[in-house]
Amino acid sequence: MSEKANILIIDDDEAILDSCSQVLLKAGYSVKGARDGEEGLKLFKSESFHMVLLDLKLPGSDGIEVLGHIKTENPETPVIIMTGYASVESAVGAMKQGAFDYMAKPFSPKELRVNIRKALNNRKMLMENLYLRKELEAKIEFDLVVGKSEAMEAMLDVVKKVSPSESTVLISGESGTGKEILAREIHKHSLRRDGPFVVVDCGALVETLFESELFGHVRGSFTGAYETKHGRFELANGGTVFLDEISNISLNIQAKLLRVIQEKEVTRVGSAKSIKIDVRIIAATHEDLAEAVKGGKFREDLFYRLSVVPIHVPPLRERKEDIPLLVDHFLLKYNKRAKKNIQSVSPQILEALRAYDWPGNIRELENTIERAIVLTRNDQLGLEDLIYHGIGSGLSFLEPVGGKYKTLDEIEKEYIKAVIRAHHGNKSKTAKILSIDRKTLLSKLKRYNIQ
């Protein structure tokens, strides 16, 4: 989605101000003008501008001083200096202060339009680079669409219909089912595909910094705010913002998020200036938000705003017919990474994978196949390659060894080892899958001497 660029012109020459305004208005831009530095800075602080045309010689505060204030307030805003006193010294001084370019009066309408386009393109690139987006990787792999089960076909039918729309989407599903991957796929097939896709992990952000992360802050707004920070919504402008694990945000932040959705604008912490935004929101949760609403933990009005189109991602245990296709997909993916040539898996492996309930869903299956490929010495994955990960051994937990059945402690120890290995030692995820708290898990790890 494209937005109409808002340009501020600061020049005490009425003829220059009028002629530049007319050229830019005809080119489709929105334009505001100011006749001195004080008026210009007041406008700049009260509205959101994409760039500034600034005269070097102004009454009162000169152009260099105004430039410094602009770059302090919004460092990403490109400023083109205009002057009738063209000299190498003034050009170098302006560029050192952060000016994007320099134009000597008089200049032609074409020169003005070309420089404006360059400045706006530079701003767009800068805004995109402020956020290290995963889209910059060589390829975005859509692992979730691998599968032909009825559950998947029903879900993907909804995805195909909603992707080109502007509707807000709420994705629900267990951890590891691929909610973020699905959100990326919706974005990739939307009208905003050329815009940024910005992820907000609502479960990982500290409550005290949450508002700053979402909406940004101005320099000096609180202790540690040493420079102006762009919020995730600003960075997602023209694209999509993905709010992962939305159920984790507080009622206070929920109220502010609701206002953002309704007003389509954000206000940085410590600022009174509202910034217009154009974003599509996709949210995700592994919890039942409707139940959270009933329990008073989630605002009902925000719930209805987010769940215009609800999509539920089925867990892997409900689409086990897709496992062979997923395994083939991960074989191809990790053969390349590990520089191996494993062509197939044994029938026993597929039987073991289908028998397992996959509490970690697709993420757990992917980790299992990746680790088996890395560690195996064979050309075909066999059951022995899975036993190390606790998947194959799941079939033999209850079988007697040497004529003797295992104790409950032995079975529990094997299962805990299997789950924590499958999640690369991540204790928080292991505790969640086992439905115990972290403290209990740590106690069991110590008791069973599991490293």
Per-residue pLDDT at 86? 56
CA terminus-to-terminus distance, the chain: 51
Instruction: Compute how many other C-beta atoms are within 10 angstroms of the C-beta atom of residue 85.
Output: 10
Name the superfamily (CATH) of residues 6-128: Response regulator (3.40.50.2300)
Q: Using CA atoms, how far apart are residues 187 and 171, in angstroms rounded to an integer?
A: 13
> Which whole-number Å values give the CA distances from 64 to 37, 95, 107, 443, in the listed order?
10, 10, 20, 64
CA-CA distance, 401 to 389, in Å (whole number)? 19
Architecture of domain 317-447: Orthogonal Bundle (1.10)
d(CA 298, CA 235): 26
271 contacts: CB under 8 Å, gap ≥ 6:
217, 218, 221
Residue 25's alpha-carbon distances to 28, 81, 145, 225, in angstroms, are 5, 19, 46, 37
Closest of 377, 204, 307 to residue 299, by C-alpha: 307
Residue type, 368: T
- Indicate if 317-447 has the same CATH topology as 136-314: no
Nearest to 396 by CA among 411, 380, 408: 411
Number of residues assigned to the chain: 451
Yes or no: say if 119 and 98 are a contact pair by the CB < 8 Å rule: no
Q: Which residue bears the tokens 């200036």?
A: 273
Residues in a beta bridge with 32: 8
Single-letter amino acid, residue 59:
P
Contact (CB, 8 A) for 359 and 433: yes
pLDDT means per 10 residues, the chain with 451 residues, are 79 92 94 92 88 89 87 87 71 81 88 93 74 43 62 88 95 92 92 91 79 83 75 90 93 92 89 88 94 95 95 92 89 87 83 84 88 83 67 50 67 79 80 83 89 77
Quick one: pLDDT at residue 409?
81
Q: Where are the domains of the chain?
A: 6-128, 136-314, 317-447
**CA dist., res. 404 & res. 217, Å (int):** 65
- Domain spanning 136-314: CATH superfamily: P-loop containing nucleotide triphosphate hydrolases (3.40.50.300)
Reported as half-sphere exposure (CB side, CA atoms, 13 A), residue 296 has a value of: 0
